[in-house]
């Protein structure tokens, strides 16, 4: 009897192993790719694990090997990587077949389950109808002063600490992150996060510190298998940080609610939190009884979720672009000179949105920055029904996860304007081009889930770059310290950046 039971258990375990291997670790279907290994998929072989090779470089390599469509295994998860622009445009424009990626939702909802970012269907529509107007052009106008004030504060910090114009600054990533966090603190929370204060590094502001821990945890969970990420998030440091953020945000909401309706209407023009509080549901319990289609407004936890998701989505992406801007200016004297010449007509004056938009060469630089270095490597969609891609003709199944790799598209000569090498930073390629496919916009995704902050990001970046260029010149800190390369965090940062800062 014992032997028989052991026999049955052994057969069962063998079948289970066979099933797991077949479903999760076997290359299947007609789409090419590297055979996955047990538990780690393709992560070990391609150097994501062990060698920290950034995923943008891995996908560029795999595209050279397998062509416009291939499969890749993120551990036990199979994704289909699509690098043909016509197919990507088709995916974006067929929202009833391709919706927000489940693997993305699984990870983000661990740290922020109430944000629209990780919702689909009617709940997503309810959230987006409230958050997307917050970044319309008329709103952006009111944020310009804050952006300029914070950039000036950074310049003063540099001026005070810059005894020697030949000093090589190795901390540009932290400096730019502090600048963007400061801007976001004022715009979103109407709060001074103090990241640009001299004492910032020695005495950390409680909310800023908690936000850093939250952002760090969000990045870690994206990289970990879901089950391990869940355990990781139980750690007391994260729990405490989360409690601190919730306490501050609840207090900010209360403060907004104490304002008179007139005052709130006024504050709504310049403050994100005031706008979000304005959308608070009057009776949360009643709203909960309604169907998702009939619900109106946001509950308190949803307002907090939106604040956090806007912070995560908007701060590190833009600060990464500023870092790369500084890097390319330090590498290309010519580009920097041309830009300075273009903006010299305004002397040290602060520019309006219209003036910023009228600067043709600046526009080319920002577009080339977005084309050449998308801060985020790509986006994910999940199939709701079986489908066939129109250009490659590949058949896809319901539940497949599609990855759209921005670098594979934007570094492809077929889609890149002009004849210049797509692997070089060349703002001139955008001069006098119709660029119908708008390859620089690929950086912001597409279709119904495209970035809601893209207009804001473009203007914010332009305003910061102009302000910096009105006052300083960046120089190359030397071959070794300013070698560029790629470092993967939640965004793609330069691995080595070391620049000199000279006040003009």
Given a contact cutoff of 8 angstroms between Cβ atoms, the answer to whether 461 and 443 are in contact is no
What's the closest the beta carbon of residue 491 comes to ligand HEM, in angstroms?
8
Which helix or strand (DSSP H or E) is residue 436 part of?
A: none
For residue 409, give every residue at least 6 positions away whose Cβ sits within 8 Å of its Cβ, in sequence order, or none: 83, 85, 88, 415, 439, 442
Q: Please tell me whether residue 33 binds ligand HEM under the rule CB under 6 A.
A: no
Is 500 near ligand HEM (CB under 6 A)? no
**Of these, 451, 459, 464, 493, which contacts ligand HEM (CB under 6 A)?**
451
CB 85 → ligand HEM: shortest distance, Å? 14
Among 185, 305, 314, 477, binds ligand HEM (CB under 6 A): 314
CA angle 24, 30, 35 (to 5 degrees): 40
- Sign, CA dihedral 475-148-492-224, equals positive
The residue (of 444 and 474) whose beta carbon lies closer to ligand HEM is 444
Restricting to residues 115-154, name those near ligand HEM by CB under 6 A. Answer: 116-117, 135
401 binds ligand HEM (CB under 6 A): no
If you search the block for the tokens 């908690």, which residue do you land on? 210
Among 275, 336, 379, 482, binds ligand HEM (CB under 6 A): 379
Annotated binding residue 451: yes
- Find the radius of gyration of the CA atoms of the chain: 24
Cβ-based burial of 305 (10 A; exposed 0-12, middle 13-18, buried ≥19): buried
Residue 179 or 457 with smaller CB distance to ligand HEM: 457
Q: Which of 376, 389, 468, 492 binds ligand HEM (CB under 6 A)?
A: 376
Q: Pick from 321, 330, 401, 441: which binds ligand HEM (CB under 6 A)?
A: 321
DSSP states of 271-336 as a string?
A: -HHHHHHHTB-S-HHHHHHS-TTT--SB-HHHHHHHHHHHHHHHHHHHHHHHHHHHHHHHH-HHHH
Record the tokens describing residue 454, joined without a space. Answer: 């893209």
C-beta contacts of 57-60 below 8 A and 24+ residues apart: 57/407, 57/486, 59/83, 59/377, 59/378, 59/405, 59/407, 59/408, 60/407, 60/408, 60/411
Judged by CB under 6 A, the residue of 305, 446, 477, 494 near ligand HEM is 446
**What string marks each residue from 454 to 493 as x (binds ligand HEM by CB under 6 A) or -?**
--xx------------------------------------
Site string for ligand HEM, 292-311 (x = CB under 6 A): -----------------xx-
Q: Which stretch binds ligand HEM (CB under 6 A): 10-18, 332-340, 374-382, 476-484?
A: 374-382
Looking at beta carbons only, is 40 or 179 nearer to ligand HEM?
Answer: 179
Residue numbering of the annotated binding site: 451
For binding to ligand HEM (CB under 6 A), which residues are involved?
116-117, 135, 309-310, 313-314, 317-318, 321, 375-376, 379, 443-446, 449-453, 456-457
Residues at the binding site for heme are 451
């Amino acid at each position: 009897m014992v032997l028989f039971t052991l026999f049955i258990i052994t057969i069962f375990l063998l079948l289970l192993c066979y099933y797991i291997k077949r479903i999760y670790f076997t290359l299947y279907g007609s789409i090419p790719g590297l055979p996955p290994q047990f538990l780690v998929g393709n992560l070990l072989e391609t150097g994501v694990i062990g060698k920290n090779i950034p995923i943008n470089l891995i996908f560029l390599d795999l595209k050279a090997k397998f062509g416009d469509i291939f499969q890749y295994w993120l551990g036990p998860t199979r994704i289909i990587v699509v690098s043909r622009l016509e197919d990507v445009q088709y995916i974006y424009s067929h929202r009833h077949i391709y919706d927000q990626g489940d693997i993305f939702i699984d990870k983000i909802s661990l740290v922020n389950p109430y944000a629209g970012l990780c919702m689909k269907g009617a709940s997503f529509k309810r959230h987006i109808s409230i958050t997307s107007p917050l970044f319309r052009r008329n709103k952006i106008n009111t944020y310009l002063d804050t952006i300029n004030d914070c950039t000036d504060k950074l310049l003063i910090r540099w001026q005070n600490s810059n005894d020697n114009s030949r000093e090589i600054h190795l901390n540009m990533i932290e400096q730019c992150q502090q600048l963007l966090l400061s801007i976001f603190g004022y715009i979103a929370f109407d709060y001074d996060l103090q990241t640009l204060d001299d004492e910032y590094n020695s005495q950390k502001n409680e909310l800023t510190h908690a936000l850093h821990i939250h952002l760090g945890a969000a990045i870690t969970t994206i990289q970990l298998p879901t089950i391990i990420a869940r355990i990781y998030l139980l750690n007391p440091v994260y729990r405490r940080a989360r409690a601190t953020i919730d306490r501050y945000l609840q207090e900010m909401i209360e403060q907004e609610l104490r304002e008179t309706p007139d005052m709130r209407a006024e504050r709504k023009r310049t403050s994100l939190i005031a706008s979000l509080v304005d959308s608070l549901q009057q009776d949360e319990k009643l709203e909960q009884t309604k169907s998702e289609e009939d619900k109106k407004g946001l509950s308190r936890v949803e307002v907090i979720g939106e604040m956090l998701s806007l912070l995560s989505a908007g701060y590190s992406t833009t600060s990464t672009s500023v870092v790369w801007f500084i890097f390319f200016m330090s590498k290309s004297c010519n580009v920097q000179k041309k830009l300075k010449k273009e903006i010299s007509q305004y002397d040290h004056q602060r520019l309006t949105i219209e003036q910023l938009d009228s600067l043709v060469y600046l526009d080319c630089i920002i577009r080339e920055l977005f084309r050449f270095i998308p801060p985020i490597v790509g986006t994910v969609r999940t199939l709701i029904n079986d489908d066939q891609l129109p250009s490659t003709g590949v058949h896809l199944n319901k539940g497949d996860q599609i990855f759209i790799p921005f670098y594979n598209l934007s570094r492809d000569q077929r889609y890149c304007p002009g004849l210049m090498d797509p692997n070089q930073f060349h703002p001139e390629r955008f001069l006098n081009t119709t660029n119908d496919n708008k390859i620089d916009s690929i950086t912001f995704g597409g279709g119904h889930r495209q970035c809601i902050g893209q207009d804001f990001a473009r203007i914010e970046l332009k305003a910061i770059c102009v302000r910096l260029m009105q006052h300083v010149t960046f120089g190359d800190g030397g071959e070794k310290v300013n070698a560029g390369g790629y470092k993967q965090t939640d965004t793609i940062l330069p691995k080595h950046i070391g620049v000199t800062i000279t006040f003009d």
